[in-house]
Chain A
Amino acid sequence: MLEVRNLHVEVEGQKILRGLDLKVHPGEVAAIMGPNGSGKSTLSYVIAGREDYEVTDGEVLLDGENVLEMDPEERAAKGLFLAFQYPVEIPGVATMTFLKASVNAQRKSRGEPELSTPDFMRHVKQGAERLEVNPDMLKRPLNVGFSGGEKKRMEILQMALLEPRYGLLDETDSGLDIDALRIVSNGVNALRAANRGFLVITHYQRLLDYIKPDVVHIMSKGRIIKSGDAALALELEKNGYRDYVADAAA
Chain B
Amino acid sequence: MPPMIRREHDAERMLGEQFRAFRPADASAGRRDEAFTLFSEAGLPSRRIESWHYTDLRGLVREALPPAPEPDAATIEAARERLAAHAVPGAARVVVLDGTYRPELSDLSALSAGVTVTSVLDALSTGDLDAGLAAAQKLGQVESMLALNAAFLQGGAMIVVAPDTQAAAPIELVMLLSGRAPAATYDRSYVKVGDRASLTLVERHASLGDAKSLAATVLVAAVGDGASFEHLARIDGLGPQALHLGTTLIRLGADAKFEATTLVATGGVTRRQAYLEFVGENATAHLYGVSLLDGKSHADTTLIVTHTAAHCESRELFKHILDGEATGIYQGRVVVAPGAQKTDGKMLSKCVFLGDGANMYNKPELEIFADDVVCGHGATVGALDDDQLFYLRARGIPLREAQALLLEAFASEAIETVSVASVKDEMNDRVGEWLRQHGR
> Which residues from chain A sit less than 8 Å from chain B, CB to CB?
48-51, 71-73, 75-77, 81-82, 84, 87-88, 90-93, 97-98, 101-102, 105-106, 109, 141, 158, 162
Contacts and interface: CB of A to CB of B under 8 A. Distances in A.
A92 to B, nearest CB: 3
Contact of B395 (A71, A76, A92): A76
Contacts of B411: 92
Contacts, number: 79
Interface string B365-399: 00000000000000000000111101111111111
Contact of B390 (A72, A97, A109): A72
With most chain B CB atoms within 10 A of its CB, the pick from A75, A76, A84, A102 is: A102
Contacts of A75: 394
A71 B396 contact: no
Interface of B: 385-388, 390-399, 401-402, 405-406, 408-413, 416
Contacts of A105: 395-398, 401
12 contacts: A51-B386, A71-B393, A72-B390, A72-B394, A82-B394, A90-B388, A93-B405, A98-B395, A98-B405, A101-B397, A101-B405, A158-B395
With most chain B CB atoms within 10 A of its CB, the pick from A90, A106, A109 is: A90
Contacts of B416: 92
Contact of B397 (A50, A51, A73): A73
Nearest to A158: B395
A90 B413 CA distance: 11
Contacts of B412: 92
Contacts of B397: 73, 101-102, 105
B203 to A, nearest CB: 24
The 7 closest A-B pairs by CB, nearest first: A92-B409, A76-B396, A72-B393, A102-B395, A106-B396, A93-B409, A92-B413
B410 A77 contact: no
Nearest to B391: A88
Contacts of A81: 394
A155 to B, nearest CB: 10
B413 A109 contact: no
B395 A90 contact: no
A246 to B, nearest CB: 36
A51 B387 CA distance: 10
Contacts of A77: 396
With most chain A CB atoms within 10 A of its CB, the pick from B387, B392, B399, B412 is: B392
Contacts of B410: 92
Nearest to A110: B396
Nearest to B390: A50
B393 A76 contact: yes
Contacts of B390: 50-51, 72, 88
A72 B390 CA distance: 7
A109 B394 contact: no
